[in-house]
Structure 1
Amino acid sequence: MRAVLLGPPGAGKGTQAVRLSERWSIPAISTGDIFRANVKGATELGRRAQEFMNAGALVPDEITNAMVRDRLAQDDTGEGFLLDGYPRNPDQAIELDSMLADMGIELDAAIEITADMDEVTARLLKRAEIEGRADDTEPVIRKRLEVYATSTAPLTAFYEGRGVLVQVDGLGAVDEVTDRLVAAVENR
């Protein structure tokens, strides 16, 4: 299984990525983990990314794409992978297609976890309270969801047009959502 996991902040992508990774015996690859590994390892890409992060700027696609390319070339991805947090926009999706073509493989599925925005906002506010994230206020969360809607949501149309999109409701008990995700992907 070679898949990407899409959905708004708070939809449960991280939780489901771990569960699907175990289910399909493939690595769950989060861009956050890739960034941390490159920064901690003081790789050239990590140093370049750190400069942008220190300045409070987004890391350019060129650096993010290179990090993902390096990660996908590792041995543990031979039987598949689940990308969480990448691609974030159609340009990155096109670059991912190019990476996979260079490896002689294709994406099997783009799995979108859907969720009501009010419910997601409530989830994120609760998480902020539990984890002590004072900066995760309702206006900040709503802004993040707005950014998602304008920059990342167009991936839905991109992957739908390619015939690999699978959409699953992310609301409900964690086990129920996992079961829906597995069934939706395996039945497509």
Structure 2
Amino acid sequence: MLNIVIFGAPGSGKGTQSAKLIEKYGLKHVSTGDLLRAEIKANSPLGQMAESYMSKGQLVPDEVVIGMLDELIKKNSDVEGFIFDGFPRTLEQGKALDEMLEKNGQSISLVLSLEVKDEELVERLLKRGEISGRSDDNRETIESRLKVYYDQTAPLKEFYRRQGKLHEIYGEGSIDDIFAAMEKVIDSFAQ
């Protein structure tokens, strides 16, 4: 099974590249935001628990999110693998994800980190904000999101580097060039 974590700062192209990876390798996309919304809509016990936090404006605890991921993986044992997009976001989540996968006889195969300079990230997000009208794509919010990324998510790079799973991908240039660099890593792993 091919389990990939894709991460990078906001605006690095995770969503765009995830879609291409899913199409080429037949992976199941795992977005924790989508998962939370689906569980809440289904009114499952985990969804009810998640909603109790979200309705108060609080973050859903890691153990609830991991529980949802565990259910998803058990329900989809027939897929080629998973692509984790936007999760894990912290070192604690990375460790919890590893433990949960291990209990299911799986592991993260590789981690693709899209590396993009801050100036490029800001430009991309400002442009996205102009096109989509997303109110959170303004300079102040973007800089705040980048700070959170560097403080909380970037330490995961060292965690996965120590496991020999981290592959840094130059995330600037054409979408197809970036995808080709990712394919090269995945195809060399899969052989």
Alignment of 1:80-99 (within 5 A): 80-99=81-100
Please tell me the residue identity of whatever aligns with 1:128: G
TM-superposed CA distance for 1:185, in Å, is 2.6
Q: C-alpha distance in 2, partners of 1:125/1:181?
A: 26
Match of 2:38 in 1: 37
Match of 2:64 in 1: 63
Q: C-alpha distance in 2, partners of 1:131/1:56?
A: 25
Match of 1:24 in 2: 25
CA RMSD, 1 decimal: 1.4
Match of 1:3 in 2: 4
Please tell me the residue identity of whatever aligns with 2:37: R
Structure 2: gaps (5+ residues) = none
TM-score, with length taken from structure 1:
0.94
TM-superposed CA distance for 1:77, in Å, is 5.3
- The verdict on how the C-alpha distance between 1:76 and 1:23 changes in structure 2, with shifts beyond 3 A counting, is farther
Contact 1:10 1:120 in 2 (8 A): yes
- Once the two structures are superposed, residues 5-53 of structure 1 have per-residue CA deviations (whole angstroms, 9 ceiling, x without a partner) of 1111110101111110111111121112111211221222222222222
State percent identity of aligned pairs: 37
Please tell me the residue identity of whatever aligns with 1:124: L
Contact 1:27 1:76 in 2 (8 A): no
Please tell me the residue identity of whatever aligns with 1:29: V
- Once the two structures are superposed, residues 96-144 of structure 1 have per-residue CA deviations (whole angstroms, 9 ceiling, x without a partner) of 1111111112221011111111111111111112111234320111000
- The verdict on how the C-alpha distance between 1:104 and 1:56 changes in structure 2, with shifts beyond 3 A counting, is same
Aligned residues: 188
Q: Secondary structure at the match of 2:6?
A: strand
Structure 1: gaps (5+ residues) = none
Segments ≥4 residues shifted beyond 3 Å: none
Q: Secondary structure at the match of 1:159?
A: helix
Q: C-alpha distance in 2, partners of 1:111/1:168?
A: 7
Q: Secondary structure at the match of 2:130?
A: helix
Q: C-alpha distance in 1, partners of 2:175/2:44?
A: 36
- Once the two structures are superposed, residues 132-183 of structure 1 have per-residue CA deviations (whole angstroms, 9 ceiling, x without a partner) of 1234320111000100101011100000000011110111111111111111
Contact 2:28 2:79 in 1 (8 A): no
Please tell me the residue identity of whatever aligns with 1:117: D
TM-score, with length taken from structure 2:
0.92
Match of 2:74 in 1: 73
